[in-house]
Amino acid sequence: MKRIVGLSLSLLLALLILGAEQAYAIPDYNPPQLLIDKQSSPLSIAVDGNGTVYWIDGTSGQIRVLIKVTSSAAVILKDLNTPKGLVADSSGNLYFSEYTRGTISILPKGSSQPIVLIANLSFPSYLSVDTLGNIYFITGEICGDKIVKFDRYSRTLFVILTASGSRDLNRGFGGVFIHPSGDLYYTTCGVGTVEKLPRTSSNPEILASGYGFTSGVAADNDGNVFFIEYDTAVRVIPKGTGTSAKLASDGTSRHLLTIDQAGDLYYNDFKGGMIWKIPRLIPQSPPPAPPPLPAFGQVPAPNQAPAQFPQPQVIVKEVVKEVPVEVIKEVIKEVPKEVIKEVIKEVPKEVIKEVPNEVIKGVPKEGKEVSKEGTRTETEALTLGTLGSITYSDIRYVVIGAIIGATIAAIGVAKRKG
């Protein structure tokens, strides 16, 4: 019976998007299912690889999880500062933004203690994460004017897109989604478009337009794109078309959506306090198996690196073991004191622990004197060596960066010991 209803719905939707004397194929979905109601202003919604549903409670500043057996909610994080964006990766880690605090954090799977990954951001809001753990997010007040990528391995930020035209708080980006293929999908506030930035291109493609306000967006592995016409409906753009059809409008208002591995859709009803699921009758085509996510700072295997940005090839704490003290002494002479003062702020604890005693003994006197002027000797950022491999493609710069990073780490150790 469910399949008959779903097929009937699919047929009806196909008739709604007739064009050029042909009906386009739409994925078969059952009618929306109410998962839970009586929630307080549910904002962003996320689903992990096991189908567990999470959302942000906009009133209390909490992240909640759906308990399937009892159709109830449990609080997993509380007392957050204006949480807004939420997403889960393939390993079950949760990422969330705190809008007024200006941070993006990770809640590792099985942990109750979040870790701040990025700080000092300008109103970070909605976000997405790729199969390598890189984070794509919107920044800027109200409708953010930039889509930014946080590279997991270098901890470097890249501006992917900037909203066109003069800055208007009601014109910018409304939602963002990174597909396993590397294609980036996003929606626009005010302009009301759904757009795609292909992985290998710098030229966005407009998939649909003419809507007053578009927000949440997602794409399946069969080329269909789903988005929210804000407050009005969940819509689908079938593969190969520039026309959309309404997929669901249950609830009071619709805000954001997400998609799971089977192709089921989930959306939040912000005003009505509800979470909805649109089950797919036939699972979507499977994507390539995602690689396991390395820890932050680890280098991915060569076949895991996404094409659009180069990945670091050297991690300082591995290189430092092989750096002769004589080389360090020579290199440090060429490093301006101003550079040392800046870089010393970015030395992580892991690197300092790896610096051999011989290196500590070989730190030039000038370096130690400069280190006393530094305001910090340790942070969670990666070292200059790793950043050098992103900034420069020439391997010589990578090695030089690693040597300088090792030297600065040694200076930090010398300062702590002396």
The answer to whether residues 42 and 268 touch, using CB atoms and an 8 Å cutoff, is yes
The answer to whether residues 127 and 118 touch, using CB atoms and an 8 Å cutoff, is no
Nearest to 85 by CA among 154, 173, 206: 173
**pLDDT tens digits, residue range 258-271?**
999 899 999 999 88
**pLDDT tens digits, residue range 138-173?**
999 888 999 999 988 888 898 999 987 666 666 899
Q: How many CA atoms lie within 13 A of 235 on its CB side?
A: 26
Q: Same structural domain for residues 240 and 345?
A: no
Q: Same structural domain for residues 142 and 207?
A: yes
Q: Is 9's pLDDT higher than 70? A: no
Identify the pLDDT of residue 404: 57
The amino acid occupying position 191 is V
Residue 357 in domain: yes
Q: Which two tokens stand for residue 32?
A: 């929306």
Coil, strand or helix at 250: coil
Q: Is 314's pLDDT higher than 70? A: no
Q: Same structural domain for residues 273 and 351?
A: no
Q: Same structural domain for residues 71 and 22?
A: yes
The mean per-residue pLDDT over the stretch 341-369 comes to: 49
What average pLDDT is seen over the chain? Answer: 74
Q: Same structural domain for residues 89 and 172?
A: yes
Q: Is 35's pLDDT higher than 70? A: yes
Identify the pLDDT of residue 16: 36
Range of the domain at 47: 2-278
Q: Same structural domain for residues 245 and 320?
A: no
Q: Is 341's pLDDT higher than 70? A: no
pLDDT category at 326 given cuts 50, 70, 90 is low
CA distances from 25 to 130, 167, 208, 209, 217 (A): 27, 39, 17, 20, 19
Q: Same structural domain for residues 350 and 247?
A: no
CA dihedral 98, 295, 405, 399 (to 10 degrees): -130
List Cβ<8 Å contacts ≥24 apart for 397-400. Answer: 398/312, 398/313, 398/314, 399/314, 399/319, 400/331
pTM: 0.67
Give the residue from 226, 254, 278 where a domain finishes: 278
Residue 293 in domain: no
Q: Same structural domain for residues 114 and 178?
A: yes
Q: Which two tokens stand for residue 232?
A: 């009005």
Burial code (b: 16+ CB inside 10 Å, e: under 16) for 382-410 equals bbbbbbbbbeeeeeeebbbbbbbbbbbbb
The mean per-residue pLDDT over the stretch 327-350 comes to: 58
Task: Spell out the SS3 assignment of 64-89.
Answer: EEEECCCCEEEEEECCCCCEEEEEEC
Give the CATH number, domain containing residue 195. 2.120.10.30
Residue 329 has φ and ψ, to the nearest 5°, of: -60, -40
**pLDDT tens digits, residue range 188-221?**
988 889 999 998 888 899 999 988 789 999 999 9
Q: Look at 12 and 353; give whichever has higher pLDDT.
A: 353
The amino acid occupying position 212 is G
The amino acid occupying position 174 is G
Tokens 């809507």 correspond to: 211
- The percent of residues above 70 in pLDDT, for the chain, comes to 61
Distance of CA 348 to the CA centre of its chain: 23
**pLDDT tens digits, residue range 64-115?**
999 988 889 999 999 999 999 999 998 889 999 999 999 999 999 988 999 9
Residue 214 in domain: yes
Q: Same structural domain for residues 345 and 248?
A: no
Distance of CA 82 to the CA centre of its chain: 18
Residue 301 in domain: no
Q: Same structural domain for residues 366 and 231?
A: no
Q: Give the H or E element holding residue 333.
A: helix 325-333
Identify the pLDDT of residue 166: 62
Q: Which two tokens stand for residue 313?
A: 């090839």
Tokens 């949480």 correspond to: 83
- The percent of residues above 90 in pLDDT, for the chain, comes to 40
Residue 286 in domain: no
Q: Same structural domain for residues 16 and 104?
A: yes
Residue 290 in domain: no
What's the sign of the alpha-carbon dihedral 189, 191, 192, 198?
negative
Residue 294 in domain: no
Coil, strand or helix at 216: strand
Could you tell me whether strands 205-208 and 214-219 are parallel, antiparallel, or unpaired per DSSP bridges? Answer: unpaired
Identify the pLDDT of residue 98: 96
Residue 130 has φ and ψ, to the nearest 5°, of: -90, -175
Identify the pLDDT of residue 165: 67
Tokens 């998007």 correspond to: 17
Distance of CA 95 to the CA centre of its chain: 7
Domains identified in the chain, total number: 2
Q: Same structural domain for residues 383 and 255?
A: no
